[in-house]
């Protein structure tokens, strides 16, 4: 027997006859994993105590401490680097908030990509998801343009906006409006969405643009918003610059889930008070809009008012294609 064979034999003998103590190895591994998770929680708690102690020390020394964000009181911070995904999610959330003529206050939180079944735990708005989604939760004042029974001009306001964003292509799958903050910690480790440092066009409504909330009237008196892709054509400036830097020219494509909340799909409206999600950000005052639904219904929308000044070409923005402008 060679030396190598002898060593191999010795090593094999060391393992031979060893019988595991664990009668159920799966349970043993699960128990071990739970212990590791518990130890992490202890470590996080220790870190939280340290942070709290530091804050107290700063307060005692006379420095002011910023008030906790509403979200921070119920959602713990998961440290992570700001990635491209974070930036995309932030832009999506920003467009969604400002597109509704609203504003978000405090920290925005995101979570994901979440499996479908977990996203559905929050709301039925994510119910039709068949792929992993990101969940974004924001606090602020959000108008519900698509809520039923709003022909009177009073638009209900909610304080928590939840977005469901498909992880595969970052399209908004559903929007939820509520007054109750859902603790995302129940589903995983949420991370704060913060404005990326520079590099993005500030998403502010141009003074020449129409208000984001208006009353629309269907040409037939009844608009049936159906599932599928609906197309919005409008006459106005040919190109507009959006926060994402992507120019939108001539037509805007959106889905019914972009109208109000996800529950809009399949409902009929005599009038709509609201917005067409973020895509209306660039609409100019006095624009004539035709909404053609997937079922063939058309909705003539006037954003009302008159442009106070001619719409200048520079609206096309630096990244827009010159020919299209």
Partner 1 sequence: MEEAGEPVIMPLDDDEFSAFVRLRYAALVRYGASLLGDPAGAEDLVQLSLVKLNRAFDRVDPERREAYTRRVMARAGWRQARRRWNGEVPTAHVPERAGLGDGEVVVDDRDALRRALAGLPLRQRVVLTLRYLDELSEAETADVLGCSVGTVKSRAARGIEALRRSGLASEHEVTPRIGQQGVEP
Q: Is 36 in the site for partner 1 (CB under 8 A)?
A: yes
Of the candidates 57, 191, 59, 48, the one whose C-alpha atom is nearest the C-alpha of residue 114 is 191
Smaller CB separation from partner 1, 36 or 80: 36
Binding of partner 1 by 49 (CB under 8 A): no
- Per CB under 8 A, 321 contacts partner 1: no
As measured in angstroms, the least distance from the Cβ of 78 to partner 1 is 16
**Closest to 75 in 3D by CA, of 186, 1, 203:** 186
Q: Does 322 bind partner 1 (CB under 8 A)?
A: no
| Whether residue 311 has a cis bond before it, omega within 30° of 0 | no
Least distance to partner 1, CB of residue 112, Å: 16
Among residues 5 and 149, whose Cβ is nearest to partner 1?
Answer: 5
Q: Which stretch binds partner 1 (CB under 8 A): 34-42, 44-52, 165-173, 270-278?
A: 34-42
User: Locate tokens 């470590």: which residue?
Assistant: 43
Alpha-helical runs (H) found in the chain? 3-15, 25-60, 84-99, 116-119
The pairing of strands 247-249 and 239-241 is antiparallel
Please enumerate in sequence order all residues whose Cβ is within 8 A of that of 19, keeping only pairs 6 or more positions apart, or say none: none
**Nearer Cβ to partner 1, position 16 or 66?**
16
**C-beta closer to partner 1: residue 31 or 270:** 31
Torsion of CA 232, 233, 234, 239, to 10 degrees: 100
* Pair 78, 190: CB distance under 8 Å: yes
C-beta of 120 vs 302, nearer to partner 1: 120
Q: Quick one: 25 or 127, whose CB is closer to partner 1?
A: 25
Closest separation in Å from C-beta 39 to partner 1: 9
Question: Is 27 among the residues that bind partner 1 (CB under 8 A)?
Answer: yes
Segment near partner 1 (CB under 8 A); pick from 30-38, 67-75, 150-158, 257-265: 30-38
Residue for token digits 């206050």? 105
Measured from the CB of residue 13, what is the shortest distance to partner 1 in angstroms? 7
Q: Which residues pair with 143 in a beta bridge?
A: 157
Q: How far is CA 170 from CA 89, 206, 319, in A?
A: 8, 26, 21
Q: Is 20 in the site for partner 1 (CB under 8 A)?
A: yes
Residues in contact with partner 1 by CB under 8 A are 1-8, 10-16, 18-22, 25-38
């Amino acid at each position: 027997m060679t030396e190598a064979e002898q060593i191999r034999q010795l090593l094999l003998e060391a393992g031979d006859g060893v019988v595991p103590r664990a009668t159920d190895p799966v349970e043993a591994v699960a128990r071990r994993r739970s212990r590791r998770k518990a130890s992490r929680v202890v470590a996080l708690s220790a870190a939280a105590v340290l942070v709290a102690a530091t804050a107290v020390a700063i307060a005692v020394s006379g420095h002011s401490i910023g008030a906790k964000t509403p979200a921070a009181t119920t959602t713990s911070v998961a440290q992570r680097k700001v990635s491209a995904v974070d930036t995309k999610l932030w832009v999506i959330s920003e467009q969604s908030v400002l597109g509704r003529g609203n504003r978000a206050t405090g920290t925005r939180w995101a979570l994901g990509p979440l499996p479908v079944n977990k996203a559905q735990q929050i709301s039925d708005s994510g119910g039709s998801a068949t792929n992993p989604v990101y969940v974004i939760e924001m606090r602020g004042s959000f108008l519900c343009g698509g809520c039923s029974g709003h022909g009177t001009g009073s638009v209900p306001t909610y304080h928590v906006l939840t977005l469901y964003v498909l992880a595969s292509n970052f399209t908004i799958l559903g929007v939820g409006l509520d007054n109750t903050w859902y603790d995302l910690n129940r589903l995983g480790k949420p991370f704060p969405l913060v404005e990326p440092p520079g590099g993005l066009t500030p998403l502010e409504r141009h003074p020449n643009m129409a208000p984001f909330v208006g009353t629309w009237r269907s040409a037939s008196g009844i608009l049936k918003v159906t599932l599928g892709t609906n197309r919005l054509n409008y006459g106005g400036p040919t190109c507009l610059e959006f926060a994402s830097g992507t120019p939108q020219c001539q037509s805007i494509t959106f889905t019914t889930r972009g109208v109000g909340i996800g529950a809009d799909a399949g409902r009929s409206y005599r009038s709509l008070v609201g917005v067409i999600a973020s895509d209306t950000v660039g609409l100019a005052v006095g624009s004539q809009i035709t909404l053609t639904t997937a079922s063939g219904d058309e909705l003539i929308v006037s954003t009302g008012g008159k442009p106070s000044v001619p719409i200048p070409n520079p609206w096309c923005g630096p990244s827009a294609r010159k020919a299209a402008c």
